[in-house]
Amino acid sequence: MMSTGFAMVGARSGDHVLVLGAPSARDAALAAEIAAITGLNGRTVVVDVGTEARTRVETAAAKAGVLLEFEWAPITMLPLGCGEFDIAVINHQLVHQDGRNRVACCEEAFRVVKPRGRVVVIEGLRRPGLFGLLPSREPGLPADESRAALMAAGARATRILADVDGVIYIEALRPDVSEGR
């Protein structure tokens, strides 16, 4: 059965997909689910730091029987070339960054995405008002802050794809090359 995260990413066979962050086993499993679809003609790469992240990704790949690459690097300085990916997924990372690093993460995602490529942000959602005071199972960030970081990084447009079980999925289109990015 397909996960909500996978459905929101929308990867297809042969796509090149970059996943920024694998902070939990569930997030590593999402990367493996994407790799199962991109297949041998595509490529799925996870960028994160830490031995635990690499272990989670390798375990998820072995369990799913897929090829999944891991790059050890900070999400604000990707060791990847410009325009290599069809989709970049910022996976539960913006909430852990300050304002400038949120924008830097989004800029890097846009840099490595091909023209007409997409960036998908997956974040826990912090609710406004009294609901924001209730404990949640993961740290959250208001949707407006994620969208603001994407726009500050030069997104042509953003939209909320879904808000499911306290997780928000936001899609952004890569800036037009003629706009200087």
Express each pLDDT in 1-59 by its tens digit: 578 999 999 999 999 999 999 999 999 999 999 999 999 899 999 999 989 999 999 99
Buried/exposed code over 28-41 (b: 16+ C-beta within 10 A; e: otherwise) = bbbbbbbbbbbbee
- Can you give the CATH number for the domain in which 63 is found? 3.40.50.150
pLDDT band at 166 (very low <50, low <70, confident <90, very high): confident
Q: How far apart are CA 145 and CA 152, in angstroms?
A: 10
pLDDT given at position 169: 96
pTM score, two decimals? 0.89
For residue 4, tell me if it sits in a domain.
Answer: no
For residue 165, tell me if it sits in a domain.
Answer: yes
Instruction: Determine contact, residues 140/125, Cβ cutoff 8 Å.
Output: yes
pLDDT band at 175 (very low <50, low <70, confident <90, very high): confident
For the sheet with 167-173, list strands across it. Answer: 69-72, 43-48, 16-20, 85-91, 113-124, 167-173, 158-164
Q: How far apart are CA 60 and CA 55, in angstroms?
A: 8
The boundaries of the domain holding residue 69 are 11-174
For residue 2, tell me if it sits in a domain.
Answer: no
For residue 179, tell me if it sits in a domain.
Answer: no
Residue 136 backbone dihedrals phi, psi, to 5 degrees: -130, 165
For residue 170, tell me if it sits in a domain.
Answer: yes
Instruction: Determine contact, residues 114/141, Cβ cutoff 8 Å.
Output: no
Please write the tens of the pLDDT for every residue from 80-91. 999 999 999 999
Please write the tens of the pLDDT for every residue from 105-144. 999 999 999 998 999 999 998 655 555 555 555 567 888 9
Of 64, 28, 66, 60, the residue nearest 47 (C-alpha)? 28
Split into its structural domains, the chain has a count of 1
For residue 1, tell me if it sits in a domain.
Answer: no
